[in-house]
Amino acid sequence: MQTIKRILLTGGGTAGHVNPALAIGSVLASDESRFLFVGVRGRVEEEVVPHEGIPIKYVRASGFPGGISPKWARFLFDLTAGVLKSIYILLLFRPQIIIGTGGYASAPVVVAASLLRRLRLCSARIFIHEQNAVPGKLNRLMGRFAHKVLVTFPESLSHFPDNGLLVGYPLRRRIARVSREEAIQKANIAVPEGRKIILVFGGSQGSRTINRAMVDALKYLLPYRDKLLIIHGVGLFKSSDYNAVADTEARLHRLYSEEQLKEIGSFYTYQSFFHNIENLYGLSDLVVARAGAGSLNEISAMGLPVLIIPKSNLPGDHQVMNARSMERAGGAEILYEQIAPVDGVLSEWIDGELLAARLLSLIRDDSRLQSMRERSDSFLNHDALSRIARVILKEESTAEQDSVPARIPTTAPLPGNRALLSLLEKALEKQKTGYRPEFVITRPQDLEYLKNRASALLIHPSWQERNLGVKLLGLLQARERIPALLTLFFDRTPAPLIQRFFGGDYRQVGFIRRNIIVSLVRINVVSQEVERAFLAGLEDPYYEVRVEAARAVEFFNSRLSYPKNFLAALLKLLDDSILDVSVAAAEALGKVGGEYDALPALLGRWDSRFWKMRAAVLRGILHLVERGEVGRLDLVEAQVPRFILTSTDFAPHFEIKSVYRQLMESVSRKKEKRVAQ
């Protein structure tokens, strides 16, 4: 077996990058091996690596900013300084192998090694390990300099077509299966006979949304307390904003009485951190977890079914992609975080009742759990460390590498947000009233994911991205996201000073407010809160919002709870300074008005100087007549001929004359019908 004497490990920022590097290092170690870890000071590697007995040196590095941002200046400065320091480290240590596991700490080392190789001052081979289904931006870039990019998920291979290799995730050696009896003994937990055990955690730091949802779910799980045991790791996170343990305790005491807490204590226990989580894996029937690559690979190695709650709004949406990969393999189900109003502010949130329902549905279905166990067990390559060692030590030939099944998904990748918008808009234009997003996105799990992805945009700092999210939710007909859309619509936070200088009004710009109205119409659900938004829209300072609000009133008309509530605002809009607003108001009045309010106002616009306004007024009167709201048909018949039917447009078909004929024919039919009766 080939011995490598000098191995440089780099990567960090989080344990998810540090642990794989240490695991790979451990499998390459021999009595002759020397290790050096290169990371960034003040990050998790500064605490973890020295405890492993490995020397560590530090370089400057910062996260890849992406887009147009002032952070580019710091990134380029840190990268330059980091590369220079890395060159010095590499020349002194002279590694034979460099293993990078992601995180921005690895970028300076990989760039420096590549430069030195070009100058023939370094002969080290470079290996990158990518833990997530969607590689980070820096790993995609660093992959160009690597001899091999070792990936965990088959989906990642498309990002590294020339040097990617599917190997799996390098798990810590101590994550190994134990019998349930041994696990119960080692975990030192009393497990009553006949209980199904659910392990819940959100990583070492915990997850605020999972913690709060789990506490909320206990209310709905109480009736099943004799059949369940829930072990909840709330996490170590502490800050001025959130303390995982304290917040969980406070929520329990706020939501439940002392009597209920005693009952809850019979089937629910929580603590901050599990030092020997492998024992808890060994006794669990179901796991609830985030979608970090490390967690999912540990769960897969233990052959456990899992309900995944992926963290939204991470770079590349990598947790969601990890979760979808395991869900497609059949070893997991996904419960997405919702973007919903929490204390009047849009935040990530999980409904406790929904979480309880999903847990009960799974835990009652033994055949489903068994199927998920089998699929989870076969999801990933559990011999990853050995295979990584064979590749690095050149003991695995290219033919052997190619012979390993990659299980690349047969499903085509879903379109990005802007491509999805174009796809759905074309389908809407083609299918018209028969449009359904299910006809375009046929897999229910994919449709749910896309709704979740779109709703995550609602809290994006860029108004353009929030606007995109609003449009997508309408086209996806995401009725369950209506509360989030309404919260965004009624947000009257003033725009930044620079935007107000150029005419802006609110942080949720007029385009966003307009498109929320459009999306509510496309979702096609009306409620009192939706009606309140339409009423506010009729008085919005941005004219396009007033236009769409009037059109929404026209669209829903008879389905509105109190259509007369809109009359005063619509009558006022007949005199709006913007022609499009007056036109939309005139047509809406025909749908919600009557003979003694809307009709006189419409007839009074017979001499409007804009032919489009006169045409809209005639359409409004036509709507009133066809709805049977006009009793004095002789009045209409006498006054409508006063309307000026000329148009400034040169066209073979004059719209206003056509509407006039339709109206007069409708009046004539109504009169004949009355005579016949």
User: What average pLDDT does range 110-138 have in this prediction?
Assistant: 90
State which of 403, 437, 457 marks the end of a domain: 403
The verdict on 193 and 105 lying in the same domain is no
Which residue's structure tokens are 């560590």? 56
Residue 425 counted as domain residue: no
State which of 362, 377, 392 marks the end of a domain: 377
The verdict on 141 and 286 lying in the same domain is no
Residue 531 counted as domain residue: no
Residue 21 counted as domain residue: yes
Q: How confident is the model at residue 67 (pLDDT cuts 50, 70, 90)?
A: low
The verdict on 25 and 142 lying in the same domain is yes
Residue 102 counted as domain residue: yes
The verdict on 189 and 287 lying in the same domain is yes
Q: Residue 372 contacts by C-beta under 8 Å, 6 or more apart in sequence? A: 305, 306, 330, 331, 332, 333
Which residue's structure tokens are 């990158």? 128
pLDDT value for 650: 58
pLDDT value for 89: 96
pLDDT value for 589: 97
Question: Given a cut of 50, is residue 129 above it in pLDDT?
Answer: yes
Q: Is residue 547 within 8 Å of residue 585, measured between CB atoms?
A: no
User: What average pLDDT does range 265-286 have in this prediction?
Assistant: 89
The verdict on 165 and 194 lying in the same domain is no
The verdict on 37 and 59 lying in the same domain is yes
Domain extent for 311 = 180-377
The verdict on 228 and 357 lying in the same domain is yes
- Coil, strand or helix: which one is 41? coil
Q: Is residue 621 within 8 Å of residue 642, measured between CB atoms?
A: no
Residue 475 counted as domain residue: no
State which of 377, 393, 421 marks the end of a domain: 377
Which residue's structure tokens are 């935040």? 347
What confidence tens digit (pLDDT) does each residue in 438-493 have? 999 999 999 999 999 999 999 998 999 999 999 999 999 999 999 999 999 999 99
- Containing 517, the helix (H) or strand (E) segment is helix 510-523
Closest CA to 472 of 483, 490, 485, 462: 485
The verdict on 312 and 389 lying in the same domain is no
Residue 230 counted as domain residue: yes
% of the chain residues with pLDDT over 90:
63
By DSSP bridging, strand 338-342 and strand 345-349 are antiparallel
Q: State whether the Cα torsion 526-532-536-538 is positive or negative.
A: positive
The verdict on 340 and 205 lying in the same domain is yes
User: What average pLDDT does range 392-416 have in this prediction?
Assistant: 58
CATH of the domain at 341: 3.40.50.2000
Number of structural domains (the chain) is 2
Average pLDDT of the chain, as a whole number: 89
Which residue's structure tokens are 């290219």? 398
Question: Given a cut of 50, is residue 410 above it in pLDDT?
Answer: no
| Strand ranges (E), 4-62 | 6-10, 34-39, 56-58
pLDDT value for 651: 56
User: What average pLDDT does range 553-582 have in this prediction?
Assistant: 94
The angle formed by the CA atoms of residues 233, 239 and 241, to the nearest 5 degrees, is: 100
Residue 202 counted as domain residue: yes
User: What average pLDDT does range 309-327 have in this prediction?
Assistant: 85
pLDDT value for 556: 96
pLDDT value for 596: 94
The verdict on 246 and 354 lying in the same domain is yes
* CA–CA gap between residue 522 and residue 664 (Å, rounded): 33
pLDDT value for 471: 98
Question: Given a cut of 60, is residue 395 above it in pLDDT?
Answer: no
The verdict on 125 and 18 lying in the same domain is yes
pLDDT value for 36: 96
* CA–CA gap between residue 43 and residue 558 (Å, rounded): 61
Q: How confident is the model at residue 399 (pLDDT cuts 50, 70, 90)?
A: very low
pLDDT value for 2: 65
pLDDT value for 653: 58
Residue 458 counted as domain residue: no
Residue, of 379 and 149, whose pLDDT is higher: 149
pLDDT value for 393: 87
pLDDT value for 411: 54
pLDDT value for 182: 79
Question: Given a cut of 80, is residue 225 above it in pLDDT?
Answer: yes
What confidence tens digit (pLDDT) does each residue in 490-528 have? 999 998 887 777 778 899 999 999 999 999 999 999 999
* CA–CA gap between residue 231 and residue 605 (Å, rounded): 71
User: What average pLDDT does range 33-40 have in this prediction?
Assistant: 94
The verdict on 366 and 390 lying in the same domain is no
Q: How confident is the model at residue 396 (pLDDT cuts 50, 70, 90)?
A: low
